[in-house]
Structure 1
Amino acid sequence: MDMPQQRIPVFKPLIENEELEASRKSLELGWLGMGSYVGEFEQRLAQFIGGDRRVVAVSTGHAALHLALLLMKIGPGDEVITPSFNNAADFQAILATGAKPVFCDITEDSLCIDLASAETLVSPNTKAIIAMDYDCILCDHDRVAEFAARHNLRVLHDGAHAFGSRYKGKMVGSFSDITMFSFDPVKTITCIDGGALVVRTEEEVARLHEMRLIGMSQPASVMYGNARAWTYDIGTIGYRYHLANLHAAVGLAQLAKIERIMESRRASCRYYNRYLGGVSEIIVPKTDFADVTPFLYYVRVPAGRRQQLREFLAAKGIDTGIHWQPGHWFSLLKDCRRADLPVTERIGHEIVSLPLHSSMPIDVLDRVIDGMISFFAHNA
């Protein structure tokens, strides 16, 4: 009897002996909170990103978004322009400051922010704009910076999908005022869960250090020595957003193999494009993946056939995802749309994520490709 084929998940974190050993050592250290591994992780991230930037590690990508907005002094009565086609964490972070998300459209080619759409939404209450890089095609960050300067807005660069990618030769994180990253279980590298903020100045670092540790004025130099001060001040509202040693240790193990991870993901996406690019019923990403590190691989399935395709692949043991439902489809956020969002509406009904892992054998890729081709061959 033939053994059933193993199910192919949408995401699969790369956990090898190095991550297991790093976890064991961090647990044996006995300092489970924020400590020496966190300080080292921040240093290694800063070295990788370059551009004379400072890095502050936090517990999640959402925590990074929230703290970034607070650092920008976003608060009640303010508005933040963001694509509706974005992760819910961005919307919730805006709401957590007391501000309101205002949804703009995206461009057809990049699935990133449409500045012409955003232009119509700027009001006296607009204080910031979120430039989110959707997977494998980055925003036009030069135009974003020009737009923000013209309207006197702050820019939050959401690089959750873009760790390791380059924009005009510059590493994402090295050129924006404030950039955030996510290291959750399914991102390009994982800390189990974690995030980071990349900023320009030591003053911003000091402010973030307090806010991520419930407002406590604990010197990072003490914490990174696996110790703590027992007397301190609390001079600001803060949150339990610090990263734990265990998570940072896993992140360090992942970061040590980032070049291999990046090349593997690029190679898998190129392979998908090579064999799916000729399938006329779908639209694949229009990129050669040369300067980007794709977090996911998506295709667009027009003509209302997405759910049928997903069910067909599921029956073959191939999982798929949807990244994402547009924000204005959610009951909480339906009033955040002030204009028509035609591209977002269309993409929201067409987008589907295929499996993409940091180490993906050719035979697994072939199973996904064969499943896709088979569906359209039998459902012409």
Structure 2
Amino acid sequence: MSERIPVFKPYIGVDTAKAAVDALDLGWLGMGSYVRDFEARLGSVLGVEGERVVAVNTGTSALHLAMLSLGIGPGDEVITPSFNNIGDFQAIRQAGAEPVFCDIDEETLGIDVEKAEALISPRTKALIGMDYAGIPCRLDALQEMAARHQLKVIHDAAHALGSRLHGRSMAAYGDITIFSFDPVKIITSIDGGALVVETATQVEALHRYRLLGMDQSARRMYTNERAWTYDVADRGFRYHLANLHASIGLSQLELLSAFIETRRDACRRYAALLAGVEGLRLPATDFTDVAPFIYYVRIAGGRRDDVIRSLSEAGIDTGIHWIPGHNFTLLKTCRRGDLSVTERVGREILTMPLHSFMPAST
């Protein structure tokens, strides 16, 4: 029997193993020089100063810290697509605020800006724009609308490292942009995340937040040293990225362009093979400016389970990204207004296998 084709298959090469060994040989396993270098290199890739990048241990941690950095807390509301990762909802709740679920638009599967505007209340503090599958949501319209209402935009680009909009990287959009480097993202640091912020004051606060509130200088730890005297004047969390993970992330960043191109090729092969199939809706992009994290199809007519079963019998794994948030017991009170597109997409969406360096014969 031939080997099954998984939905995700992270690239782990000789260079990845060498990066891990190099970090272990250094002997400084916590946050240190590799984290500094990872932030600088990520900034270069995104076209921003490395000092504006703060690396953390997960994308969900990055979302939580984004909330705190923008002053979001108890009594506040954050408008988010219901069609989003559970990490966004948990980060909002962890900050003490409440998610308010919004519908998505048919083309990008990102937040419906007009429906979001109708959900704004006196308690609204921010909106989340999430780039599903690496396809940018309507970021220009979202930012313009948020500015009119004096609201913040948290740009969740966890799927979109390497995507561009109007020639600009994803870091150019939002009051804060977050990225994820978990085991199945385009690049992985085994697990990890990052925030891109605007000011040195934000960076300094994030440095404290990610290290249990301690004020010992990140710059000292970046030289693989620690201070034995420090103050704690604010809350904090154990959210820092470790050298081992940062070293692996660095090695993967060097291959980012190759990862993206091979994934684009695979997505275009899917599009060519599946074009014209009755009852099947494909992503509305040619992938020229999209760094695809996943490739999805939408299956109309209630036939998704049949397709999942048939593909599984053929040795092809599939996934569902995502179950809409308003379906979860924890979040049923967060639904407001029309979610008809979300509900339809939630019934139809199916994730196909997509890997970097995916063979054409797959």
> Matched residue of 1:363: which SS?
coil
1:175 Cα deviation (Å)?
3.7
1:23 Cα deviation (Å)?
0.3
- State how far apart, in whole Å, the 2-side matches of 1:42 and 1:136 are: 21
Does 2:37 match 1:40?
yes
CA contact (8 A) 1:52 1:200 kept: no
2:306 to 305, 308, 327: 308
1:28 Cα deviation (Å)?
1.2
Task: Tell me which residue corresponds to 1:198.
Answer: 196
1:218 Cα deviation (Å)?
1.6
Once structures 1 and 2 are overlaid, which stretch shifts more, 73-82 or 309-318? 309-318
1:174 Cα deviation (Å)?
2.7
Deviations 1:115-162 (A, max 9, x none): 111111100000000000111421121111111011111100000010
CA distance 1:51–1:33, shift in 2 (3 Å): closer
- Structure 1: unaligned runs, 5 residues or longer: 365-380
Q: Percent identical across equivalent pairs?
A: 58
1:332 to 316, 330, 333: 330
TM-score (norm 1): 0.94
Deviations 1:343-364 (A, max 9, x none): 0000000000000001100111
Opposite residue 32 of structure 1, the aligned amino acid is L
- State how far apart, in whole Å, the 2-side matches of 1:33 and 1:177 are: 29
1:352 to 326, 347, 350: 350
1:294 to 279, 292, 295: 292
Task: Tell me which residue corresponds to 1:273.
Answer: 271
1:31-110 map, 5 Å: 31-52=28-49, 54-110=52-108
Task: Tell me which residue corresponds to 1:26.
Answer: 23
CA distance 1:38–1:51, shift in 2 (3 Å): closer
1:236 Cα deviation (Å)?
0.6
User: What RMSD over aligned residues (CA atoms) do the two structures have, in Å?
Assistant: 0.9
TM-score (norm 2): 0.98
- State how far apart, in whole Å, the 2-side matches of 1:301 and 1:258 are: 31
CA contact (8 A) 1:129 1:155 kept: yes
1:9 Cα deviation (Å)?
0.5
Task: Tell me which residue corresponds to 1:176.
Answer: 174
Deviations 1:74-94 (A, max 9, x none): 000000000000000000000
CA contact (8 A) 1:136 1:287 kept: no
Deviations 1:267-320 (A, max 9, x none): 110110011112122111111000010000000001111111111111111100
1:180 Cα deviation (Å)?
0.1
- State how far apart, in whole Å, the 2-side matches of 1:45 and 1:51 are: 8
Opposite residue 261 of structure 1, the aligned amino acid is F
- State how far apart, in whole Å, the 1-side matches of 2:279 and 2:361 are: 23
Opposite residue 255 of structure 1, the aligned amino acid is L
- State how far apart, in whole Å, the 2-side matches of 1:133 and 1:231 are: 42
Task: Tell me which residue corresponds to 1:5.
Answer: 2
2:210 to 212, 224, 227: 212
> Matched residue of 1:289: which SS?
coil
